[in-house]
Amino acid sequence: NAGVTQTPKFQVLKTGQSMTLQCAQDMNHEYMSWYRQDPGMGLRLIHYSVGAGITDQGEVPNGYNVSRSTTEDFPLRLLSAAPSQTSVYFCASSLLTGEKLFFGSGTQLSVL
């Protein structure tokens, strides 16, 4: 029972590089979301999706893009990495919006 799978676990980028954080869930959840977690700031919502083909911005969307072509996958793209994007990123899903969230194990990203 895989749940929410995030890859990679760790990543180091140089300023200006682009990359995609992968997220997949096998629970047939409609709602998926991306959070970043920074010391003293808690979990902040980046983007979310309430179903395939539907995405929307959260609290801190600038510098990130998402797509939801299937129910299972919800990748997060960093277009041009900046040091301010150094953080721990979590993907989470739930059956419906506002219900129990299942989190992945996180991606620790450093931008130099």
Partner 1 sequence: TQLLEQSPQFLSIQEGENLTVYCNSSSVFSSLQWYRQEPGEGPVLLVTVVTGGEVKKLKRLTFQFGDARKDSSLHITAAQTGDTGLYLCAGSRGGGADGLTFGKGTHLIIQP
Q: Rounded distance, CA 72 to CA 87, Å?
A: 24
Burial 38-50 (b: 16+ CB within 10 A, else e): eeeeebebbbbbe
Q: Of these, 19, 27, 50, 52, which contacts partner 1 (CB under 8 A)?
A: 50
Residue 110 near partner 1 by CB under 8 A:
no
Q: Rounded distance, CA 102 to CA 98, Å?
A: 12
Residue 2 near partner 1 by CB under 8 A:
no
Helix/strand/coil for 36: strand
Distance in Å, CB of 13 to partner 1, minimum: 20
Nearer to partner 1, 48 or 64 (CB): 48
Give the binding site for partner 1 (CB under 8 A): 4, 31, 33, 35, 40-45, 48, 50, 56, 58, 90, 92, 94, 97-101, 103-106
